Amino acid sequence: EDQVTQSPEALRLQEGESSSLNCSYTVSGLRGLFWYRQDPGKGPEFLFTLYSAGEEKEKERLKATLTKKESFLHITAPKPEDSATYLCAVQASNGGATNKLIFGTGTLLAVQP
Amino acid sequence: DTAVSQTPKYLVTQMGNDKSIKCEQNLGHDTMYWYKQDSKKFLKIMFSYNNKELIINETVPNRFSPKSPDKAHLNLHINSLELGDSAVYFCASSLQGRTEAFFGQGTRLTVV
């Protein structure tokens, strides 16, 4: 069964303290891995798509990497405005015509000034 | 300009009532979805439509009936609401294939 596991569940950082979030996945053929950010009371906001092992994407203080079993979201010198829940999702290539995303339960990040 | 908009944002209703949530996207996408987010923030797909055709129905009770009048709209009608239906419902859209989905702001449904 396709599955996504994120760790840690919650992470508290001081402003400027770099860290990484983990997303482990089990899927029968990866079509794509997606990172989203979700603020309280809002819908998930798209951050990155990764398609193959070794691929990396960057946006401001965020960098996403992908291996055959997991993805990391590295946060460099975070600021309080980076506080949010970060969601990882996979799309399976055996899904046929479907584009459905299988989500992890997210990592709640709090960055303190 | 809102890319994916859903209404209402909040919905409080009594058990047994019937309610609808509407969703519209102006991104030119051909695929639309309904996802449910439970109290633990876990997002799970319910339905997907591609070019107005149902392509995913994830064993959702048949009290939930999606309707897609055209590619830009996907509505969700819920009959005989139950306490367990309380959740946040998200509409999303994408292009067919390996592309990201864009989400609406969500509808917080509370059944009392």
pLDDT digits (tens, 9 = 90+) for B38-91: 988 899 999 999 888 888 888 789 999 999 999 999 999 999 999 999 999 999
How high is the mean pLDDT of chain A? 94
pLDDT at B97: 75
Asked if the model's pLDDT at residue A1 lies above 90, the reply is: no
The answer to whether the Cβ–Cβ distance between A46 and B99 falls below 8 Å is: no
How high is the mean pLDDT of chain B? 93
Residues B109, A39: Cα–Cα separation, whole Å: 18
Å from A79 to nearest chain B CA? 23
Asked if the model's pLDDT at residue A94 lies above 70, the reply is: no
Q: Are B110 and B87 in contact (CB under 8 A)?
A: no
pLDDT at A97: 59
> pLDDT-derived band of residue A96, with 50, 70 and 90 as boundaries?
low
Strand partners, A102: A90
The answer to whether the Cβ–Cβ distance between B41 and A41 falls below 8 Å is: no
pLDDT at A93: 73
Over residues A65-72, the mean pLDDT reads 96
Whether the CB of A10 is below 8 Å from some CB of chain B: the reply is no
Residues A47, A65: Cα–Cα separation, whole Å: 12
- Residue B31 has which token pair? 């695929």
The answer to whether the Cβ–Cβ distance between A49 and B100 falls below 8 Å is: yes
Candidates B49, B106, B60; CA nearest to B84 is B60
Residues A79, A82: Cα–Cα separation, whole Å: 6
